[in-house]
Amino acid sequence: MILHHRHLDETLMNMEKPRSTASSNAADGGWAAATILYVAAISAVAEYTHATYILFPELGALAFGIFQQPRGPWSRAPVPLMLTPLATATLGTFVTDHMPFGPIAIFVTVAGSVLILRVLRSPISPALSAGLLPLTLGITSWWYPIATLLGTGTLAGFALFRARSDPEAAQRPGSEEFSHRDRDSHWRLLGYAGFVVSAALCVDASSSRLLLYPPLAVIGFELFTNPRCPWAEKPFLVPVVCTLSAAGGFIIWMVLGNEPWTAAASVALSLVIMRCASIRLPPAIAVSLLPLVIDEPTAWFPVEVGLGSCVLIATHSLFTFATAFRQPDV
């Protein structure tokens, strides 16, 4: 099973286009503020309607990508943006309701979510997190998939509005497209499967479900299958950024409670951490928002995030070493 990373590559290459310092700072401040305000608004809706999972954590990462890249793949794919998380969330809820939690259920959920991405030809890789979240947190309510649709629907509506208000910008091509549809992709996907199995076994042995916290499925997927992802050049920063985001989100939740400004502050802190580390890791935003949906998170949460991230980096390092001397097929 080979996934097409053409659209994602556009986004990643667009992110690196040189800009003047002044315009870069202004643009960064604009999309950062838009992301924070959007997450705060969705969190407020979730609180006052008691539809908690409208703010499923990966929504913050999706907002980050869409506001930062007006003509990126997520902005130009409003239908997959709505349907892919809906489909993976439905799968995750079904598995949670019909299978006991364990390595098999984890693998079925992640593999099924990857298959959904492939079948829909969708660039929305954060949908992997939407699929794993119900299994990790024990969510069996069928309102969860509907709630994810409401959340992604607002982003899709924004993307459509912006495309209609500036159609030339929306249709203008980005940087040169790049395809990973080669024989090595089979090996990359196999490596990702190895990581999922390893992490699932660690979860089972430790009884710590959040060792495989949902955004880690997204981080690992891109790290293994798309070497051009922003964190591929600095993989050893992943545990640092994710652990700090988890700790920051947990502390903010402890101080402010489950409120809209908690979500806003958590996103802002995660953006600052990424900026200081000079790495673009949108799933870290989702990590900072997890305390808002976990039932009574504890101080063990950041530790689980750190350990799970280390499992990913260790597995990826072993995979990189094992395939370094492999001759490509002719």
In this predicted structure, the answer to whether residue 19 has a pLDDT above a threshold of 90 is: no
In the chain, % of residues over pLDDT 90: 64
Which residue stretches of the chain are H helix?
6-15, 21-49, 58-68, 78-98, 103-120, 127-137, 143-165, 167-171, 184-206, 214-225, 238-256, 260-277, 283-289, 300-324
Distance CA 38, CA 183 (A): 40
pLDDT in tens, 257-268: 999 999 999 999
- pLDDT of 116 reads 97
Quote the radius of gyration of the chain (alpha carbons, Å): 18
pLDDT in tens, 84-98: 999 999 999 999 999
Up-side HSE of residue 210: CA atoms within 13 Å toward CB? 20
Tell me which residue of 194, 234, 231 sits closest to 215, measured CA to CA.
231
Check: CB of residue 11 under 8 Å from CB of residue 69: yes
- pLDDT of 135 reads 97
In this predicted structure, the answer to whether residue 218 has a pLDDT above a threshold of 90 is: yes
pTM for this predicted structure: 0.86
